Amino acid sequence: MNFYDLVNARYSVRSYSDKPVPEEALRRILEAARLAPSAANKQPWHFFVVREEALRKKLFPDQRQSWIASAPVIIIACGLPGKAWVRGSDGKNHADIDIAIAMDHIIMAATEEGLGTCWICAFDVKTVKAGLGLSSEMEPIALTPLGYATSEQGARSRKALEEIVTWW
């Protein structure tokens, strides 16, 4: 699929089948994250691939987010702020930005593989940190359930280009 078709095909999936994700597809998706650009090529990230059902449920015990745990895989992207590039002019740490780029690569690669994802930042950080046994220097930033969608893409609402772009 070409890039523009891929961008149009991607949507937020909130209902997954229990069909397993092939190991080869998962490795290609993670390789796409590995190849993502990062500020000063610091690569301040670590990805956790959670396939164990008990752990998925432990990470998302709240009934409102149980759909996340129903996916056969959850990829959790953690930042290492202490290893990230920091902009000199204002001290901006770029770990979050680097993770966002890598997550976008994951989501687009998953779409290319025919898999569904949903970018998640609304989660209980303490529960995820405890469930994965994360060290204090590792921060869970974003995650995505990953699997085969059981629903179709609905209509998407996006602002007009004129609302989001200023031409000089």
CA distances from 79 to 27, 48, 127 (A): 20, 11, 16
Q: What is the mean pLDDT of residues 57-73?
A: 94
Nearest to 114 by CA among 10, 2, 7: 10
The CATH code belonging to domain 3-150 is: 3.40.109.10
Q: Is the pLDDT of residue 165 over 90?
A: yes
Classified as helix, coil or strand, 121 is coil
Domain boundaries, the chain: 3-150
Q: Which helix (H) or strand (E) holds 78?
A: strand 73-79
Question: Taking a C-beta distance cutoff of 8 angstroms, is the pair 131, 55 a contact?
Answer: yes
What would the pLDDT profile of 22-57 be if each residue is shown by its tens digit? Answer: 999 999 999 999 999 999 999 999 999 999 999 999
Q: Which residue has the tokens 């993502």?
A: 36
156 pLDDT above the threshold of 90: no
Average pLDDT, the chain: 96
